[in-house]
Amino acid sequence: MKIAVVGATGLVGQEMIKVLEESLIEINEFYAVASEKSVGKELIFNNKTYTIISLQKAVENKPNIALFSAGGTVSKQWVPKFAEVGTTVIDNSSAWRMEKNIPLIVPEVNASILNINDKIIANPNCSTIQLVVALAPLHKKYKIKRLVVSTYQSVTGTGVTAVQQMKDERKGINTKKVYPYQIDMNCFPHGGDFLDNGYTSEEMKLVHETRKIMDDYNIGITSTVVRIPVLGGHSEAVNIEFENEFDIDELKLLLNSSKGIILQDDISKNQYPMPLYCKGKDEVFVGRIRRDESQPKTLNLWVVADNLRKGAATNAVQIAQYLIENKLI
């Protein structure tokens, strides 16, 4: 098994390497791939030192799997070149997610649609991944009619320069701004680029990707994305209107028994999900589960996950594991 990590020096790339080290995947050859400015530098994987190679060199090595986290522009240019030599690419950018014939995969939800001919597989947006993990069992049981999603997203979702901006601001250092405003001691309703409809690209990703992964384009979805000064992960307040009535205790049992979910919902002990305690974890944490008393068949819940782990790196590695275990490579 030959595996490449493209974008190996970035925040998500580094997390992919960490998750691969923790995984049960037996890797015979490993390739660390990055931009020309990083070629020749070294990094550690499984206690061995590897020299970073170029994208062209990686294509020539024909890895079985390439985990991509190098941005949409690089993905559009290079992913097809890997696919042409027989590599299965799992791409973390937004470049391929909404392409009709490209599967958009969260293993707990829809890995079963994958087949041996899928050479390009899209990894969803971080906030979408944790959302659909929590929603999928509920949709199957009660059928979701409408969603209202408000996200509280970590600066790590923007990258290492955003993290540095926050840390510098915290120290009172005048620094290069990745965001249009100070992020420390602040939050702002702006994730991605503003679109003609007044929503941002991050908000519309939640709408379109959720429908595609759940394979239900009739779900009404509206969202607001907010950036907050935390490192641990993304949080989401989710209001769900169902077609069918539900019992709260039965619903909690369903979530508690669903793969990839940890239920934290004991308000008598102030137990609920928080990014501080989700950092470094692979699961999606769900809590603050309560009926919406303003209308029937409607539920509120709070969903938190480490956006670099389950929201990116872990999900990609889980896809790779599924492909290997099911002999789709």
Domain ranges of the chain: 2-123+312-325, 127-307
Strands of the sheet with 65-68, listed across from one edge: 29-33, 2-6, 65-68, 88-91, 120-122
What's the pLDDT at 282?
A: 97
* Pairing mode of beta strands 29-33, 2-6: parallel
Strand partners of residue 220: 146
Which one-letter DSSP state was computed for residue 111? G
Q: What is the pLDDT of residue 31?
A: 98
Question: Taking 90 as the threshold, does the pLDDT of residue 143 lie above it?
Answer: yes
Domain 127-307 falls under CATH 3.30.360.10: yes
Q: Of 33, 10, 114, 42, whose CA–CA distance to 79 is shortest? A: 33
Q: Residue 176: which pLDDT band, with cuts at 50, 70 and 90?
A: confident
pLDDT of residue 284: 98
Which residues, listed in sequence order, are joined to residue 222 by a DSSP beta bridge?
Answer: 148
pLDDT in tens, 48-84: 999 999 999 999 999 999 999 999 999 999 999 999 9
- Compute CA 84 distance to the chain's CA centroid, rounded to the nearest angstrom: 26
Give the pTM: 0.96
pLDDT at 175: 86
pLDDT of residue 307: 97
Question: Quick one: pLDDT at residue 127?
Answer: 98
Average pLDDT of 160-179?
93
CA pair distance 197, 188, nearest whole angstrom = 19
- Percentage of the chain lying above the pLDDT 70 cut: 100
pLDDT tens-digit series, residues 120-130: 999 999 999 99
Average pLDDT over residues 96-102: 97
Task: Yes or no: say if 68 and 79 are a contact pair by the CB < 8 Å rule.
Answer: yes
Region 2-123+312-325: CATH code? 3.40.50.720
Q: What is the pLDDT averaged over residues 126-137?
A: 98
Phi, psi of 172 (to 5 degrees): 80, 20
Q: Beta partners for 304? A: 235, 285
139 is catalytic: no
Question: pLDDT of 184-231, one tens digit each?
Answer: 999 999 999 999 999 999 999 999 999 999 999 999 999 999 999 999
Report yes or no: 112 and 211 within 8 Å, Cβ to Cβ: no
Check if 234 is active-site: yes
Of 139, 187, 190, 234, the catalytic one is 234
Q: Render pLDDT for 230-255 as a digit per residue (tens, 0 to 9).
A: 999 999 999 999 999 999 999 999 99
